[in-house]
């Protein structure tokens, strides 16, 4: 069934508890002026996925730039191409000339170290995840207990699906994948590549074939196509000329309505370490 058609999904009775193993999410509070849906759109409702049920996305995370939507596309890429902008934190799936489906993404450190052309040469449902040796060295308390890897599932850092990018037949270690932490979408994270809501990556997975071309924009290309971005205290980015949103965010910050990002990260890291230790002993 097409990504862009209406779907009916089964209701979901509870949320899946998961530690933040692949990144540190910022405050999920929607900043003043950055609108979110008060009800969950159909495409982000809970859905059955084989034997699993993917939980609905909290409306607080469905800010305008995060929700999938049809947009005009004026870039040079051909229909069928996936375009990733790690600076504007957007992903475009070009479906026809001048028209694309746009998704909000979270970008981890690994997602900011690659640009240029690639091809989707591997696809996995509920992929296995294992921290790299570098991740274990950089944060042994968090990643050490999980060095043996995690089987696929909704509590896996790669989420429900993963698309693996290759260049010249070789794995780039650049991934487009789901997430165990929907509050991170639209923000920068401490690890991982390019994350989407699980509902979005499931549908993208169905719509993208092996061999699909991918273009990851450079900063210069992002500036040319999207213009300069401004990062809000809440962790989201908006166009630098979005003066009302930026002013509202600054006022909320000064009023103490947005928590300090470093404080949040420390709390979340401590919780993730405790969860990693518990999982390692079970």
Residue range of the domain that includes 222:
42-281
The CB density around residue 271, as the number of other CB atoms within 10 Å, is 12
Asked if residue 6 belongs to a domain, the reply is no
pTM value is 0.84
* 82-85 and 213-216 beta bridge pairing: parallel
Task: Select from 178, 172, 181 the least CA-distant residue to 216.
Answer: 172
Asked if residue 158 belongs to a domain, the reply is yes
Which pLDDT score, from 0 to 100, does residue 121 have? 98
Which pLDDT score, from 0 to 100, does residue 74 have? 93
Asked if residue 17 belongs to a domain, the reply is no
Exactly one of 177, 230, 233, 269 is catalytic; name it: 177
Which pLDDT score, from 0 to 100, does residue 4 have? 37
35 SS3 class: coil
Asked if residue 201 belongs to a domain, the reply is yes
| Domain CATH for 139 | 2.40.440.10
Known active-site residue 269: no
Which pLDDT score, from 0 to 100, does residue 29 have? 39
Which are the contacts of 92, defined by CB distance < 8 A and separation ≥ 6? 71, 73, 75, 82, 83, 84, 85, 100, 101, 102, 103
The Cα 30–Cα 32 span in angstroms is 7
Asked if residue 178 belongs to a domain, the reply is yes
Helix then strand count (H, E) for the chain reads 6, 14
Known active-site residue 93: no
The Cα 112–Cα 236 span in angstroms is 16
Which are the contacts of 217, defined by CB distance < 8 A and separation ≥ 6? 83, 84, 85, 86, 87, 115, 225
Which are the contacts of 175, defined by CB distance < 8 A and separation ≥ 6? 110, 158, 162, 163, 164, 165, 192, 193, 194
Regions of the chain short of the pLDDT cut 50: 1-33
As for how many domains the chain has, the answer is 1
Which pLDDT score, from 0 to 100, does residue 208 have? 95
Cα dihedral angle (260, 265, 267, 268), rounded to 10 degrees?
Answer: 140
Asked if residue 13 belongs to a domain, the reply is no
Exactly one of 9, 24, 93, 193 is catalytic; name it: 193
């Amino acid at each position: 069934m097409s990504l862009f058609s209406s779907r009916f999904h089964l209701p979901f009775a509870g949320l899946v508890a998961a530690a933040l193993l692949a990144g540190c999410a910022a405050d999920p509070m929607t900043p003043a002026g950055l609108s979110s849906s008060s009800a969950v759109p159909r495409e982000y409702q809970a859905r059955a996925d084989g034997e699993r049920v993917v939980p609905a996305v909290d409306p607080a995370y469905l800010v305008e730039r995060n929700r999938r939507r049809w947009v005009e596309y004026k870039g040079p890429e051909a229909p069928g191409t996936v375009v990733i902008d790690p600076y504007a934190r957007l992903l475009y799936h070009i479906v026809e000339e001048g028209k694309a489906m746009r998704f909000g993404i979270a970008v981890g450190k690994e997602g900011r170290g690659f640009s240029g052309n690639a091809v989707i040469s591997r696809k996995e449902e509920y992929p296995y995840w294992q921290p790299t040796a570098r991740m274990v060295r950089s944060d042994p308390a968090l990643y050490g207990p999980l060095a043996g890897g995690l089987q696929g599932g909704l509590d896996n850092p790669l989420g429900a699906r993963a698309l693996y990018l290759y260049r010249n037949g070789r794995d780039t270690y650049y991934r487009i994948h789901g997430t165990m932490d929907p509050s991170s979408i639209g923000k920068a994270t401490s690890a991982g590549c390019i994350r989407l809501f699980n509902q979005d990556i499931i549908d993208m997975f169905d719509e993208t074939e092996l061999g699909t071309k991918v273009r990851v924009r450079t900063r210069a290309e992002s500036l040319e196509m999207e213009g300069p971005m401004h990062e809000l205290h809440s962790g989201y980015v908006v166009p630098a000329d979005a003066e009302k949103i930026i002013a509202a965010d600054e006022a909320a910050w000064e009023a103490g309505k947005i928590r300090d990002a470093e404080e949040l990260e420390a709390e979340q890291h401590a919780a993730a370490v405790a969860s990693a230790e518990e999982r390692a002993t079970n």
